Homo-oligomer: A and B are copies of this chain.
Amino acid sequence: MSKFAMHAKFTAKPGERDALAAILLEAAADAEPVQECELYLVNLSVNEPDVIWVTEVWSHAEAHDASLALAATRAAIQRAMPLIAGVQPVQLTPVGGKGLVSAPPGE
């Protein structure tokens, strides 16, 4: 089964980036015990002051979909929505690299 990955570029409403980052870090902490979540990385943009990039890698797409259905995830999304001006998702297929828990299929 193929791994699933995505970048999500969140643009926060002015002044709300830190509050949004805190919610995303909570989501990362919630993903800590979830074995199928191999990476949930929260980065601030250096050059765009309202932007946060989240990069996720999952063992398979179904595990990602299942995470979105959890009550904790839905509650976090509800809290985050008022802070968000826009989201650009970038759907990805991991082919390899250094630093994941398990090797992607391309390795």
Chain A interfacial positions (CB closer than 8 Å to B) = 5, 7, 21, 25, 28-29, 31-32, 37-47, 53-55, 57, 90-101, 106-107
Contacts and interface: CB of A to CB of B under 8 A. Distances in A.
Given A39-B39, A44-B95, 12 more contacts: A28-B97, A31-B98, A41-B98, A41-B99, A42-B96, A43-B92, A44-B92, A45-B93, A47-B91, A53-B90, A53-B92, A57-B99
A39 B99 contact: yes
How would you classify the secondary structure of chain A's contact residues: helix, strand, loop or mixed? strand
Nearest to A37: B98
Number of copies of chain A assembled together? 2
Contacts of A25: 95-97, 106-107
B45 A94 contact: no
A88 to B, nearest CB: 12
